[in-house]
A and B are shown apart, each in its own frame.
Chain A
């Protein structure tokens, strides 16, 4: 039995319903973009991993004590309690982002708007908390010791990612209200934004463990 190639999407666009055709193209480009975006996130994970490796290496094989000694006295540990509260703020934004997407998928625009607002407020709140923490950390500054170097570089990179994420979500939110790029079936941009936001959360889990609990 010969299988018609046209049915497999081989010669679509010739004598096919134009709407069907667009739908197939949408699904294909979405799948490709999704894979591309996930690969981009993978490479970003590697970037964080290289600095995490540097931190673990310096802490376990180079530093004689941890926290290290600077100018004759040992540096204090970081403020775990404050960071825990700040983490809850960030993870909370992941939860609200999830509900925003659920709202969008079910065509509930009001719910989407409300939870997007929560997400952006919580994300900005996390950044504010991090700024407060930077101002009050007693570990000798960015260039003071290997502790400061690893801590400020890694959390700074993460904070920059959160900042980019907040801007990203704000742009997406603006797009949903001012353009008709997305509907309840076609919302790849929103999927990518959500993925990015959860990715930032996951990185924070690792950083929280490495800097505050270890």
Chain B
């Protein structure tokens, strides 16, 4: 029997984990209505991947339209629907589900040494709300999709096509899904960590999920209130936002951004987690400033609730409130800067391996820092007066969301694909994917900064001919980027069939998910291991004891197969 080293604290929450559920045998219980967090994670990934393809095609329609100042492809009304749906899909149906639903579900329970999340059935419900909401969202095209941008400001959204109400329901549903996931993950991380895994021994991706989950359950519910009010006003004329009936459109902006600014960090903190894991693994060095990175994650999460009005400097808010919002927004640069410098110091002197995941992680450092710097311009009240509502904002948000979240996600896909599928992805195609995305992305979005500063407004179907040159440049590069993402999908499909077998730990990483076979067995860990140190001390013996066996030997049948007793 394994014993813990002296001084190792164990939590009291592991007896339930000792029970190994019997593996379901029917196809439906195994792959469709599964309660296994790994299957649910992959379900999220496939669903969000499909939505990503749709959103990408919408983006290409937008860029193609803007090739010509008079609009090359679609009517102005259709154009409005397309960019609104592109934004909605990317934020709520691609990035958040991929970061928390897909990677949070697949990786986080493995990293804390758990057999599943705290409430597996709730997890099943969370997932199945999500595709239903997605179908509802896209079917709004049939009756006139929402056309007031992803932010759906009233009073325009009050007059929008009937699909705007369906948009409210779809986003409301996906919000419920996020809230349930937030509850589930918070309890999982607080209560189900392996013995010895104190807070300061959690992998940094778990820290990121731990900061994100409470934000999901607080901020998303606030958005649901705003959406419910918008729905009530559109369908039943209950006055909240319409100034003609005594309401206030600015109220929506407060309620919307109170959610949506924290949502920005919900969309980046897990990506920060990926980057910490990947940079450390491929530099073969401990993460520099582990505690400071963990602390700054929580600091960003807290600060994000106090900055929402920086989206509203031009909306007629009282002037004395603008200054504190500007200053608090700028404070966020401090914890973010701590992270960037810690990552750079992690690379310093490391023995770096340029895998595709590592390329994306370092690419992230460049593009995300750039996006963060333009955020600083937008936070400054006087500069914002000029830049607000222009293409500068579009450029900034794509630098942080594509250059940040999506680059992080690409890195994570290359990093954890072997764990999910047991096969390696092609590094050669991956190299092409990275360089074409990096060049295509920067070529697309750098010119948009200049267009914005020159005064080109966002969300327009036609524009002044003086802006055409840089629009053509941006559109041309965007085709390169789309082609590169197509390469990634090809890479995934080809590697699923014929990728090299990866084995349990192809990267030599030290977090717990790499200590078990790839793909992991149904019950994850036959024995719950005990944790002795942080997972990043390369060169020291493994910080775990009581691991199942040597990697590859986890085929052994589970010894104990009863369900937890259903007590109330």
Measured CB to CB, the residues of A under 8 A from B are 1-6, 8-14, 21-22, 24-26, 28-32, 35-36, 39-40, 42-44, 46-47, 49-51, 53-54, 57-58, 61-63, 68, 142-143, 145-146, 149, 152-153, 181-182, 186-189
Contact = CB atoms under 8 A, between A and B. Distances in A.
Given A36-B183, A145-B246, A46 B18 contact: no
Contact of A62 (B10, B225, B248, B560): B248
B378 to A, nearest CB: 24
Interface of B: 1-6, 8, 10, 12-16, 18-19, 118-119, 122, 179, 182-184, 186-187, 190-192, 195, 214, 217-218, 220-222, 224-226, 229, 232, 236-240, 245-248, 251, 254-255, 258, 527-528, 530, 546, 559-560, 564-565, 567-568
B528 A10 contact: yes
Contacts of A63: 246
Given A5-B530, A25-B15, A146 B218 contact: no
Contacts of B191: 28, 31-32, 35
A9 to B, nearest CB: 5
Contacts of B225: 46-47, 49-51, 54
Given A36-B118, A36-B187, A47-B225, A57 B217 contact: no
A80 B226 CA distance: 28
A8 B10 CA distance: 7
Contact of B530 (A10, A42, A46): A10
Contact of B565 (A25, A58, A188): A25
A4 B248 contact: no
Contact of B221 (A9, A21, A43, A61): A43
Contacts of A21: 15
B217 A13 contact: no
26 contacts: A1-B6, A2-B6, A3-B8, A4-B1, A5-B10, A5-B546, A10-B14, A10-B18, A10-B528, A13-B15, A14-B560, A22-B565, A28-B12, A29-B564, A29-B567, A32-B13, A43-B182, A46-B222, A49-B222, A54-B229, A57-B254, A58-B246, A68-B246, A142-B236, A142-B238, A146-B239
A36 to B, nearest CB: 5
A43 B177 CA distance: 13
Contacts of A68: 246
Contacts of A49: 222, 225
Given A4-B3, A143-B238, A28 B248 contact: no
A53 B18 contact: no
A188 B568 contact: yes
A5 B15 CA distance: 11
A50 B19 CA distance: 41
Nearest to A7: B10
A50 B255 contact: yes
A13 B560 contact: yes
A28 B240 contact: no
B4 A5 contact: yes
Contacts of A1: 6
B179 to A, nearest CB: 5
Contacts of A24: 15
A13 B18 contact: yes
Contacts of B186: 35, 39
A74 to B, nearest CB: 13
Nearest to A44: B221
Given A10-B195, A42-B217, A58 B568 contact: no
A36 B4 CA distance: 30
B543 to A, nearest CB: 16
A49 to B, nearest CB: 7
Contacts of A26: 565, 567
Nearest to B528: A10
A32 B187 contact: yes
Contacts of A146: 239-240, 245-247
Nearest to A3: B4
B254 A53 contact: yes
A18 to B, nearest CB: 10
A175 to B, nearest CB: 8
A25 B565 CA distance: 7
Nearest to A70: B246
A77 B213 CA distance: 42
Contacts of B232: 149, 153
A87 to B, nearest CB: 24
A8 B240 CA distance: 55
Given A12-B18, A181-B568, 13 more contacts: A10-B528, A10-B546, A21-B15, A29-B16, A35-B186, A46-B221, A49-B225, A50-B225, A54-B240, A57-B248, A58-B247, A58-B251, A186-B568
A35 B188 CA distance: 10
Contact of B18 (A11, A35, A40, A50): A11
B12 A8 contact: yes
Contacts of A8: 4, 10, 12, 14, 195
A63 B245 CA distance: 11
Nearest to A52: B225
Contact of B239 (A10, A40, A143): A143
Nearest to B224: A47
A50 B226 contact: yes
B115 to A, nearest CB: 13
B18 A2 contact: no
B237 A58 contact: no
B218 A42 contact: yes
A189 to B, nearest CB: 4
Nearest to B242: A146
B229 A28 contact: no
B185 to A, nearest CB: 10
Contact of B240 (A14, A44, A58, A189): A58
B180 to A, nearest CB: 9
B222 A11 contact: no
B346 to A, nearest CB: 33
A91 B245 CA distance: 36
A29 B567 CA distance: 8
B64 to A, nearest CB: 39
A14 B19 CA distance: 11
Contacts of A43: 179, 182-183, 217-218, 220-221
Nearest to A24: B15
Contacts of B19: 13, 25
B269 to A, nearest CB: 18
A58 B15 contact: no
Contacts of A152: 238
A42 B18 CA distance: 30
B3 A149 contact: no
